[in-house]
Copies of this chain bind each other. A is one copy, B any other.
Amino acid sequence: MASNRGVVYVGPGKVEVRNIDYPKFVDPRGRKINHGVILKVLVTNICGSDQHMVRGRTTAPAGLVLGHEITGEVVEIGSDVEFIKVGDLVSTPFNVACGRCRTCRERETGVCLTVNPGRAGGAYGYVDMGGWIGGQAEYVMIPYADFNLLKFPDKAQAMEKIQDLACLTDILPTGYHGCVNAGVTTGSTVLISGAGPVGLAAAASALLLGAGVVLIADFNKERLAHAASFGCETINLSEGGSIGERVEQILGVPEVDCAVDCVGFEARQRGGEEQPATVLNQLMGITRAAGRIGIPGLYVTEDPGAKDKAAQTGNLSLRFGLGWAKSHAFFTGQTPVLKYNHGLMMAILHDRIRIAKAVNTKVISLDDAPKGYAAFDKGVAEKFLIDPHGSLRKAA
């Protein structure tokens, strides 16, 4: 019982599966805690934001256990845990949150004030997010479990949709948050920038929110084809024409009601060169007056790998005057998953969204995680779900 294995960041471009400690009820500062539970990890996903670390674009230290998209079964509970029980099947928001500070009380669990001494906001297995051990592993400890965990109401029903439910930890709420912030509602026309898993989740969310037309833009033909398969209009940025012209071809007008940036700071121009402000500037160009821009794509304060000196400290050359002239509003930051995961779980359980299909999940073993990282980095149109105990493959 005391053994454990996890995916470890070893250095730029390199992850390995290693033996790691079995989780204990202690926080990253070494203090004993009673409000945590230990999960046997049922499924744990590779996230696009993990790639920033693995590519060496962050200051993540070697030895960091990765993984913040964790679904599991409770195998042990701390003495202060009252509502979560051993045996419960639960979804873990990627945000670590105490549920007791001012921002948590205000539902802003993405910027909890207590779980990270360095800044507001914590996460599992992520650089600068408080040192909480990641969950791409067989077992993981979740603090403030009564507050953080979402219990699935019925285990058998949950196992039938487990690949969809696995998306509740991060990717689906993140795409959904981007859309909610962008004001997506009944009949909206929406442009999603980026057709990676978050972009696809945003597109599926926009449809769930009743959008009239969902456009998605990317350079990756395979990902766009996948987006088209569930009802999106696609814009291949490698092809000619400005994005405004392309929008006009589809909608008859060169603008959309709502825009969502699912790319973030590693944005590229048509030539392939990195230009971190490209996506945001495009979105100001094509979003209607009084429109809103949701920005779930990650922008960082430190990017030592950026070519541009300004970008190394997170400075972007934004065409802000244009946004101002159009009365745009901009919404940034980590998604407070807990605000959305109950409703999205209900939508999944009642077949209102097929998110696993939308993001094209692929189940792999823990040992295949490094291959998954490599394939994802090359831009395959798949979302990798690690199955550390073989439970999903057994169930399938």
Contacts and interface: CB of A to CB of B under 8 A. Distances in A.
A208 interface: yes
A209 B347 CA distance: 11
A363 interface: no
Interface in A78-132: 79-80, 82-83, 98-103, 105-108, 110-111, 113-114, 119-121
Interface string A255-298: 00000000001000000000001001000000011100001001
A212 interface: yes
A126 to B, nearest CB: 12
B329 A290 contact: no
A346 B256 CA distance: 13
A344 B187 CA distance: 6
27 contacts: A82-B114, A102-B342, A103-B289, A106-B290, A107-B107, A108-B290, A110-B290, A176-B186, A186-B347, A189-B346, A210-B347, A211-B352, A212-B343, A212-B347, A212-B350, A212-B352, A277-B320, A298-B324, A313-B321, A314-B320, A314-B322, A314-B324, A315-B319, A315-B320, A316-B320, A316-B321, A318-B320
Interface of A: 34-35, 79-80, 82-83, 98-103, 105-108, 110-111, 113-114, 119-121, 146-147, 153, 176, 181, 185-189, 207-213, 252, 265, 277, 280, 288-290, 295, 298-303, 310, 313-334, 338, 340, 342-347, 349-350, 352
